Amino acid sequence: TWTPDAFVDKTVAELKEKIGDEKVILGLSGGVDSSVAAVLLHKAIGKNLHCIFVNNGLLRKNEFGDVLKQYEGMGLNVKGVDASARFLDDLAGESDPETKRKTIGRVFIEVFDDESHLVENAKWLAQGTIYPDVIESVSATGGPSQTIKSHHNVGGLPDFMKLKVVEPLKMLFKDEVRRVGASLGIDKALLGRHPFPGPGLAIRILGDITPEKVAILQEVDAIFIDGLKKWDLYDKVWQAGAMLLPVNSVGVMGDERTYEKCVALRAVESTDGMTADWVNLPYEFLQKTSNDIINKVPGVNRVVYDISSKPPATIEWE
């Protein structure tokens, strides 16, 4: 029978044998898969694993700093690269969802390629690919590796893609990855994190992206997610987030009429993201969250809750 401990022992031995004293590069996303892959490789080859964590400026509030600190605390050899300005500059004025995704994918590859050149004499590219990614190579939850695959024909192969590939989680399902992570001593909160799309908040800001809109959505999202945790609802939900809608609506504050933004909250139950049901969150929670958002986030005067299931709706709004 399969056990996480036996998997770790066997895989670490295999990785040592395969990689020897060569250098490996790995892109961390803050998600479960890349984090578990990193810790596994670190156990096998230590400082020869060079991790790169890119801030695309579209992460959750404080995510880049917090997660980077957490990775450092785990002993990983990690470099945080804040490329926010580069991503946001290239996205400016763009409102087509697929073009936004492509732009983010392209800039990610450019940044990652630049950074991988700074690791001298690297021989391997490690990826947190898991079994569902392998069987469904067009997986919707593709992350950076999928992004890379769909862009490698643009202007020739970037150098890091010419490296030998190592994918230690390739035969595992998500729940097995979590169990391996637990056996490696990775923080439970990290292992229980909701999925988060590679393009991040870009596909939750409908229409064009500005730094101001990102800042508003980060605040709204943080209130929603912190609230779910406080009310002990976070682990009962498969994925949750907020969407910034491209409409203003009329409101009233004191004697003043306002004309401000509207956000939609979304929380779903799912097993793989292919189908999903909206979650029946308690009215008291929704009421408190809506009040908190409208009172604390300048520029937002209306909150709605998304009660659409997938299909026919999707989880993200773009």
Interface residue list for ligand XMP (CB under 6 A): 101, 140-143, 195, 197-199, 203, 239, 273, 310, 314-316
**Nearest approach, Cβ of residue 127 and ligand XMP (Å):** 13
Contact 95, 74 (CB under 8 A): no
| 183 labelled ligand-binding | no
| 32 labelled ligand-binding | yes
| 249 labelled ligand-binding | no
Which 3 state secondary structure label does DSSP give 82?
Answer: strand
**Nearest approach, Cβ of residue 266 and ligand XMP (Å):** 10
Bridge-partner residues for 249, per DSSP? 260
Going through 63-220 in order, the beta strands assigned E by DSSP cover: 78-82, 122-126, 164-166
> Which residue number, 7 or 112, has a Cβ lying nearer to ligand XMP?
112
| 207 labelled ligand-binding | no
Q: Which position has the token pair 């769909």?
A: 150
| 192 labelled ligand-binding | no
Question: What does the block give as tokens for 221?
Answer: 């999202």
> Which residue number, 44 or 58, has a Cβ lying nearer to ligand XMP?
58
Q: Which residues contact 315 (CB under 8 A, 6 or more apart)?
A: 239, 266, 268, 270, 273, 276
> Which residue number, 95 or 183, has a Cβ lying nearer to ligand XMP?
95
> Which residue number, 303 or 315, has a Cβ lying nearer to ligand XMP?
315
Q: 49-55 and 23-28 as β-strands: parallel, antiparallel, unpaired?
A: parallel
Q: Which position has the token pair 């026919």?
A: 312
**Nearest approach, Cβ of residue 45 and ligand XMP (Å):** 27
**Nearest approach, Cβ of residue 260 and ligand XMP (Å):** 26
Question: What does the block give as tokens for 260?
Answer: 């401000």
Known binding residues for ATP are: 29-35
